[in-house]
Amino acid sequence: MKPRSLPARLPVYYGWVMVLLAAAAMVGTMPGRTNYLGVISKPIIEDPAFGVSEAAFSRLNFWAVLIGAGLCLPVGWLIDRLGVRLMLAAVAAALGGVAVWMSGAGDWLALFVALILVRGLGQGALSVVSLAMVGKWFTRRLGIAMAVFTVLLTFGFIAGALWLEGEVKAREDWRAPWAMLGYGLFGLAALGLLFARSTPEVVGIKPESGEQSAVSGGQAKSSSGSPLTAHRSPLTDVPAAEALSSRAFWVFTLSGALFNLMWSAITLFPKQLLLARGFPEEDLSKLFQIFMGVLTFAGLPANLIGGWLARKVALGKLLGFAMAAFAGSLLVFPAVATTGAAVGYAALLGVAGGLVTVVYFAVYGSAFGRSSLGLIQAAAQVVTVFASAAGPVLLTECRYVFGSYDPLFFVAGALALGLGLSAWKTDLPHQQPGERPA
């Protein structure tokens, strides 16, 4: 079904509608996210149908993440060929179907297969689709678009977590709420078919202008009069193979991966980390709530500031500053011993995370253009998903080997400083050395 052209005069650039849909799609990745699986992990472990211990479930989850990440690459390739509209509908519907099926799983093998698919389709494939939905529409305002996108999905994730926890607690069962997530994803797939558009050009809109192109059939033309396809930017885009072998790709991807590695470890085991710093066990629940609240809401203004700065300074320098702040938070953590210090640490980590996230979301479209954006972001997603899976494992192994979590924080802090310095000196392919973004 070919989407119709949009009206010639729109009250708002349609890309902002795509930002809303993209945020909804990212929130729709809930079944594949660690923190939402964490909500149902205890009921699953206690379910006699599965017969899995906590350690066994952890191992199943780890391998599900690694195997499922492989779905990112074919989905990214298809995004560049079929467009985000069809891929949003297909991936959301597939994830919804798997979530419904998982809610009726009756043994550990079915659970494992379901975990592989929800991880691969949710944390992996639908995340790539969501990011491409913004990157395929925005160019010069990509930073601020990603900042708005990040703020929207933060509130969406918070609302989703509160809803899921409340439903599981009220029903004393995880299966019905999990099935409801699946049915909600069917609705997202329908919304994608109705309202998503793959690029501005496919409906005859000039990128970020909101004006109808003076071409029949809703197809834009280049200045030479030749048609622009739905998946080709008027800029000179970087081919996927060249992008994946570039310094810029690896500096930004490894920076995002290191952040995800430590973020997953810190947010999965926050109480254990605070207990290891000498905080009384009876105070952990209250301190945990304060810690997570500060962490979340310190990142929100950082998202918006980062989006604004992305138009003023080079993304490499912005990431360099963000990674320096991230390194600072990691290196000071072993000295945290009071509630005030813990709050300050959470605020610094939240600000660093807000900046790193916006840069990571925005850089691939800014650096390499839109033609191969799906595949490029999919490759980056594979790396960061692997890092997310490795973070908790490295943290627990560090404690086992050294008797302390501190060595991992020192090593990660040093790596963050090194990556930040590399980012500061890295120019993007779409920019000349020293050039500021438009």
pLDDT for residue 249 is more than 80? yes
Question: In CATH, what number is assigned to the domain containing residue 123?
Answer: 1.20.1250.20
| 6 located within any domain | no
pLDDT tens-digit profile of 170-181? 888 899 999 999
- DSSP string covering 195-246, please? H--S-TGGGTB-TTT-BBPSSGGG--B-TTSPBPPTT--SS-PPPHHHHHTS
pLDDT value of residue 226: 35
Mean pLDDT for the chain overall: 84
Same domain flag for 188 and 304: no
Same domain flag for 263 and 396: yes
| 222 located within any domain | no
Residue 159 lies in domain: 15-203
Same domain flag for 34 and 157: yes
- Nearby residues of 314 by Cβ (< 8 Å), 6 or more positions away: 427, 428, 431, 434, 435, 436, 437
> Per-residue pLDDT averaged across 83-97, rounded?
96
Same domain flag for 148 and 270: no
Same domain flag for 184 and 256: no
Same domain flag for 279 and 399: yes
| 393 located within any domain | yes
pLDDT value of residue 130: 94
| 82 located within any domain | yes
pLDDT value of residue 114: 95
Q: List beta partners, residue 211.
A: 9
Phi then psi dihedrals of residue 205, to 5 deg: -110, 135
**CB-facing half-sphere around the CA of 16: CA atoms within 13 A:** 8
Same domain flag for 162 and 56: yes
| 429 located within any domain | no
pLDDT tens-digit profile of 332-391? 888 888 888 888 888 999 999 999 999 998 899 888 988 889 999 999 999 998 998 888
| 24 located within any domain | yes
No. of H helices and E strands in the chain? 17, 0
In percent, how much of the chain has pLDDT > 90? 45
Alpha carbon of residue 396 to chain centroid: 24
Same domain flag for 183 and 58: yes
Exposure of 58 by Cβ count < 10 A (0-12 exposed, 13-18 middle, 19+ buried)?
middle
Q: Residue 248 — pLDDT band, cuts 50, 70, 90?
A: very high
Same domain flag for 181 and 51: yes
Structural domain ending residue among the three candidates 203, 222, 251: 203
| 114 located within any domain | yes
Count of CB atoms within 10 A of residue 216's CB? 8
pLDDT value of residue 433: 41
Structural domain ending residue among the three candidates 185, 203, 221: 203
pLDDT value of residue 432: 42
Same domain flag for 189 and 284: no
Same domain flag for 199 and 267: no
| 225 located within any domain | no
pLDDT for residue 8 is more than 60? no
Looking at the structure of the chain, the number of domains it has is 2
